[in-house]
Amino acid sequence: MKCYKCGSRKARVRVPSLEKKACDECFKQIIEKRFNRTVRGMNLKEVIVKLGRPSDKVLLHLFKKRAARVRELSVKSSKKESSINQSTLDDICVSVLKSFFKGEDCLIKEESPLESISEYELIEYAQIEGLAFNGNPRTGEEERIHEFIMELDERRPGVMYSIKDFMKKLQ
């Protein structure tokens, strides 16, 4: 099967939100474009990425690639503090449903540069770029909610975007 985007290379990676398959190169472009679109709207001049969770190295990599093109962006890493929300699309959806199931108010506190990228997509991107990342750890309850969301998204691709967008509209 050929890549849906370029039509010339072998499609290897599934793009869940599009229900299509892409080659590695086109998949990287899709993820970087989504990341850059989100970051552009955040008007960041300086970013401090706290290195604690496995996905943080991938986030730092994406920011460094952007900083190479956008000269006014300064990127640093820290073990103590972060200047941004570092949640993936999956993290946001798990947080929303966990709060909903507990009957608590749930607000998406702030935008995240990874809010439009699922954990599956981030894992695939990391693999293509040669970065070590197999997903973020979750508690037992969070893992069950994540599995539930993955089942929903398998049946209805795009449900994670719908959850995130719905919560943003409520705020």
Q: What is the pLDDT of residues 89-104, one digit of tens each?
A: 999 999 999 998 899 8
Q: What is the DSSP string of 40-105?
A: HHHT-SEEEEE--STHHHHHHHHHHHHHHH-TT-EEEEESS--SS----HHHHHHHHHHHHHHT--
pLDDT of 154 strictly over 80: yes
Concatenated DSSP letters of 103-165: T------S--TTTTS-HHHHHHHHHHHT---------HHHHHHHHHHHHHHHHSTTHHHHHHH
Name the residue ranges covered by the structural domains of the chain: 13-170
Burial of residue 37 (CB within 10 Å: 0-12, 13-18, 19+) is exposed
Mean pLDDT score, 138-153: 93
Please report which confidence band the pLDDT of residue 168 belongs to, taking 50, 70 and 90 as the band edges: confident
pLDDT above 90 for 32 = yes
| Dist. CA 107–CA 36, nearest whole Å | 24
CATH class name, domain 13-170: alpha beta
Q: What angle do CA 67, 127, 50 make, to 5 degrees?
A: 45
Do 38 and 31 meet the contact criterion of CB atoms below 8 Å apart? no
Percent of the chain residues past pLDDT 70, beyond the cut = 99
Task: State the DSSP code for 2.
Answer: B
CB 46 within 8 A of CB 74: yes
Q: How many CB atoms lie within 10 A of CB 94?
A: 26
pLDDT at 55 > cutoff 90: no
Q: Hey, what are 162's tokens?
A: 């719908």
Cα-to-chain-centroid distance, residue 85: 11
